Amino acid sequence: RSAPQHKSTKYVELFLVVDNAESNSGIFIFLYLFLIISQYLKYKNIEVLQHRMKEIVNHVDKLYRSLNFRVALIGMEVWTNRNKIVVSPNAGITLDNFLTWRKNDLLWRQAHDNAQLITGVDFEGTTVGLATKLAMCTGDSGAVNQDHSVNPIGAASTMAHEMGHNLGMSHDEDVTGCSCAETRDKGGCVMAQSVGLVYPKIFSSCSRRDLQTFLNDVSPTCLLNTPDSDQLFGGPVCGNQFVESGEECDCGNLEECINPCCNATTCRLKEGAECAQGECCYNCKIRPVGEMCRRKKGDCDLPEYCTGTSAQCPEDAVLENGAPCGYGSGYCYNGQCPSLSQQCKTLWGTDAQVAPDICFKNNIHGDKHLHCRKTEDGYQACKNKDVKCGRLHCVRGKEFPITNNKYVLTLNGGQECKVAELAEKESGVTVDPGMVPTGTKCGIDMVCLEGQCQSLSVYGEKNCSAKCNNRGVCNNKRQCHCDPGWAPPYCDNKFTEIIPGNDSGVLIIGTLVAILPFVLLVILGILYYKWRQKKYPQKRTALPGSGLSNPLFQDSSNSKLFIRRDSPVRLIGRPQLIASTSNLQDPKSAYITIIPCEDIGNIDKVPSFNN
């Protein structure tokens, strides 16, 4: 099983939407944050509105930095005429409508990790925000927020709270033993169920644990890519700790900057510095070729190495889905090695064990507690072959699971089968930790996928690594990640010098070395020819009236070679890195869309829950 993925910085790419109510009223995490601005009429001036929204997102980003997360705003859409969805005082209805619109419209136009609606509509009761839980990197990754305070930090605190639910965080009051380092009168913590007159600045101990559990168990891969600085909304800003166009570094403002390699005022490298940050930057110098910059974190991970030309470690690559792991107990899935045993321990504690097969057979009932899938039509019973891909049954461990809710089935003979469940209000979450994890082994060459025990062939061609000639393995893009010294695409060519790690692991330099003798011979030949021409000049006589005295009409046998500008000449260029294994999506430019909205069409509702 891979080690926790929470140590490296995560990015949330955020798209922000503001509705017509405040316009009438209304991530990096690499959060592509989409902000729907429901505020235009309230602020009248679009520039004033944009400035307020950037203040809100900047504060959310500041709060999440303590968790080694960054929140990056990559898009903003302002509904200036009428809203594209029904923005109801009922926050649940608004959330349903917003997430449906996101899946059917926004995601087709702009890639992002998370979308946030900011509205000036006054939600019913004391509610100022609502979100789906455990939904980051899914179709339901989003929330709705009421801009309830003159101070932008008020809306920022709400957004940070709701985004926390997307990342699997519970309310602090709902977790036994949760501790917050600040008292309520000093702001308390972000995930407190309600907020006072002073806004929170920190996360509680249980929020950090919840986040770690989410990153370990759900493995939200959208958070692992690094944002393209050209995508960031609002253009380059020196001091925001994002290295953007025209900047060599960005260590924050003068008060924040502690980087000895970067000038905080100019966002340029200090004299003599080659770099300022990155896994391949040490003492302001780029680390040498081939030095490991990212260790293998588990059975399903691959190591990466510095290229010698960049301060950044190449994009993280993992083994192909379906590769054996856990000493044969499982198969890799998205960099993890999921298993029944590990999930039981995660839910119920280290003493927990997988229940006997007789417990899993009860998944054929197809009710709320025992099933294989939940659909719009209700709970779907497992077929006999799929019972170990439905509800996860465990024994021993703690009295209650980390979800704080359980269902215990007692069989004839006293055998107990424990199932972790979510609270009723959380029944609409996208990922249910009480189900057998996707990718878990359910037989020889069989894995769980969508509540069914399916052949490994669902991942593609079996044993992709066979094409790597025993000198590498297939990565998550089904390309050879070659051993040091061997080059892709099939690890069958060896080069004099390599740079491991970027995609397949090599930068080809040996080609130049191979052709060097030939180049030297050509140069020597040309020099010898010129020496001969100088020592033994040949007389040339132009024929009268032929026009051959004009160099353009000289006899071709004695003419110099002239290359036309449009000639297909191929020059030997600098060695190029092999294509990256990065799963980073094609960059799209950041934008703001000011939309005079058309009439609202029919909206298909999706299930919601209050949190």
Angle between helices 152-166 and 46-65 (to 10 degrees): 50
Tokens of 443: 């037989």
The residue type found at 401 is P
| Letter string b/e over residues 564-580, b meaning 16 or more CB atoms within 10 A of that residue's CB | eeeeeeeeeeebebbeb
- DSSP 8-state class, residue 532: H
Q: What HEC string does 479-502 produce?
A: CEEECCCEECCCCCEECCCCCCCC
First to last CA, the chain: 31
Going from the C-alpha of 380 to that of each of 392, 424, 581, the distances in angstroms are 15, 18, 38
String of DSSP letters for 95-106: HHHHHHHIIIII
- Contacting residues for 148 by C-beta, under 8 A, at least 6 apart: 122, 128, 154, 155, 158
Locus of tokens 């999506």: 585
Q: Please say if 279 is a catalytic residue.
A: no
Give the residue among 227, 303, 341 at the shortest CA–CA distance from 505: 303
Distance between CA atoms of residues 131 and 170, nearest Å: 11
Is 161 flagged in the annotation as binding?
A: yes
**Contact (CB, 8 A) for 335 and 320:** no
The one catalytic residue in 13, 162, 244, 315 is 162
In angstroms, the CA 489 to CA 504 distance is 8
For 182, the token pair is 């600040």
User: Would you mind telling me the total number of residues written for the chain in this entry?
Assistant: 611
Q: What's the number of CA atoms in the CB half-sphere (13 Å) around residue 506?
A: 26
| Residue partners of 441: CB distance under 8 A and separation at least 6 | 329, 330, 331, 339, 447, 448
Reading the block at residue 285, the tokens are 């110098």
Q: Are 130 and 140 in contact (CB under 8 A)?
A: no
165 assigned binding-site residue: yes
Show binding-site residues for Zn(2+): 161, 165, 171
Show binding-site residues: 161, 165, 171
Q: Catalytic residues, which ones?
A: 162
